[in-house]
Structure 1
Amino acid sequence: MTAPSATADKTIEIIRAALAPHGLFLRGTVNFEAGEAAPLLGDGRPAASVVLIGNIGGSLWQPFSAWRETEPEGKSTDPLDTWSKATIEPVAAACGATAYFPSDPPWQPFQQWAMRAEGLKPSPLGILIHPRYGLWHGYRGALGFDRPLGETGERATGHPCDNCSAKPCMSACPAEALAGERFDVGLCRGHLCTDAGRAGCLAHGCLSRAACPVGATHRYPPEQLCFHMAALEL
């Protein structure tokens, strides 16, 4: 693999500066080996690297909310995806990259990229847990390049869930969706359709997610929690 160049380092700084006003951060880099499965660039070649872009805690909420106030009501069925594209695509164009988004086919393996780039592992809820940010982070897009780039984020050391004996996330779930070996999406969604579910998790955010002590200071603001829960198709 070709080593990242000084030009690559400059590209990283340009991207960081462009994303900062929008509350978005470079979360990590995956450099692909020759012959390894990689996403395609706009010209059909396989990418040599991808850089993940995402939020930390509620970092994007104010910029997104301000943008949303300028958009006509009902113009977008998923305003956060629309905002993400409107924010990230110009950055991709400016640095000669290809933009990828979790909402677009062909579905890119964002979770696999994140585990590889940041060393994260899934929590019992299925959400990747970060040792500093806990469950309060996300990935809004990625940029693909025809050259390798240097590190753009910090790698996790250890898995927070391994050192958590109490596991309050599991006992906090009113639907007992975490009682089995895997998170039971059906039980979760069924509970959200009840009066108790609508008054609890749907109105205030997932109770199991809130019970996790890791990264509690990065918890999303109430408005953002309500937005994400309201976006669920029940």
Structure 2
Amino acid sequence: MNYETLKSAANALHLDILGGFHPALDDTDLDGFGTLLMLGPLEPAFWTHFKTQKEYLDGGPNPVDRWSSRVVTALATALGGHPFFPYSGPPYMPFYQWALRTERCHSSPVNLLVHDRAGLFVSFRGALALRQHVELPDSPPSPCETCPDRPCISACPVDAFASGSYDVAACRKVIRDDGPACCLTRGCAVRRACPASQGYGRLEEQSSYHMRVFLENDP
């Protein structure tokens, strides 16, 4: 089974391989696996497809997570692998660290993950662990290396990333007030400002949905 075959199998389910790596001997969470593939939405048509799915239509809670569990598990079963999910836990799998190990995700100037193709819109619906060692394509450099203006740094209307850590309370306030940057209806201004994000094709409706979920989960 080669990488292109795996990518085609994921794409058929409206998922994309956003990177992968070969686990080390001391990766206790991945003991016995030769390859881990990180899976995200296949843009730009993911949201249009998702809105036709039973998890979106049934009115139940957490539709995106339920869809991800069903689809990624089915893919893993078909390929003889094992699924992992960022929302399953505790214990929670180290998706942030896994993403960095793919060398297709990097820490951006605002400390959010940035992907070579998805930019700051990178998100993971799951990961697929396979027993075999699959040859992976070379990883492109970080898009931040060729981004002289770095608009992400100044895009947030409340400077929620200015301190070097994420000011969640300030972020939620501007979303709730639906301020000038229209974070609630258009998605995070910082993520939208990234040049790599702008070429990814993420629908504003999809970003708005996730921002509303973020507000609903305000403790």
Same fold (TM over 0.5): yes
Deviates most, 57-66 or 12-21: 12-21
Distance 1:72 1:17, change over 3 A: same
Deviates most, 94-103 or 112-121: 112-121
Q: TM-score, normalised by structure 1?
A: 0.80
Answer yes or no: is the 8 Å Cα contact 2:82–2:128 preserved in 1. yes
Deviates most, 159-168 or 78-87: 159-168
Rounded Cα–Cα distance in structure 2 between residues aligned with 1:214 and 1:195: 25
Rounded Cα–Cα distance in structure 2 between residues aligned with 1:133 and 1:154: 17
| Higher-Rg member (1/2) | 1
Are 1:94 and 2:85 an aligned pair?
A: no
Distance 1:131 1:16, change over 3 A: closer
Q: TM-score, normalised by structure 2?
A: 0.85
Higher relative contact order by CA 8 Å / sep ≥ 6: 1 or 2?
1
For structure 1, which runs of at least 5 residues remain unmatched after alignment? 1-7
Q: Paired residue for 1:21? A: 12
> SS of the residue aligned with 1:202?
helix
Question: In the TM superposition, what is the alpha-carbon distance from 1:162 to its structure 2 partner?
Answer: 4.2
Distance 1:222 1:61, change over 3 A: same
Query: How many residues align structurally?
Result: 215
Q: How does 1:126-137 map to 2 (within 5 A)?
A: 126-137=111-122
Percent identity over the alignment?
31
Are 1:210 and 2:195 an aligned pair?
A: no
Are 1:54 and 2:45 an aligned pair?
A: no
Select which of 153, 174, 181 maps to 2:164.
181
Select which of 47, 50, 56 maps to 1:64.
50
Question: In the TM superposition, what is the alpha-carbon distance from 1:116 to its structure 2 partner?
Answer: 1.3
Question: In the TM superposition, what is the alpha-carbon distance from 1:14 to its structure 2 partner?
Answer: 4.4
> SS of the residue aligned with 1:142?
strand
Q: Paired residue for 1:194? A: 177
Rounded Cα–Cα distance in structure 1 between residues aligned with 2:77 and 2:43: 27
For structure 2, which runs of at least 5 residues remain unmatched after alignment? none
The CA RMSD over aligned residues, in Å, is 2.5
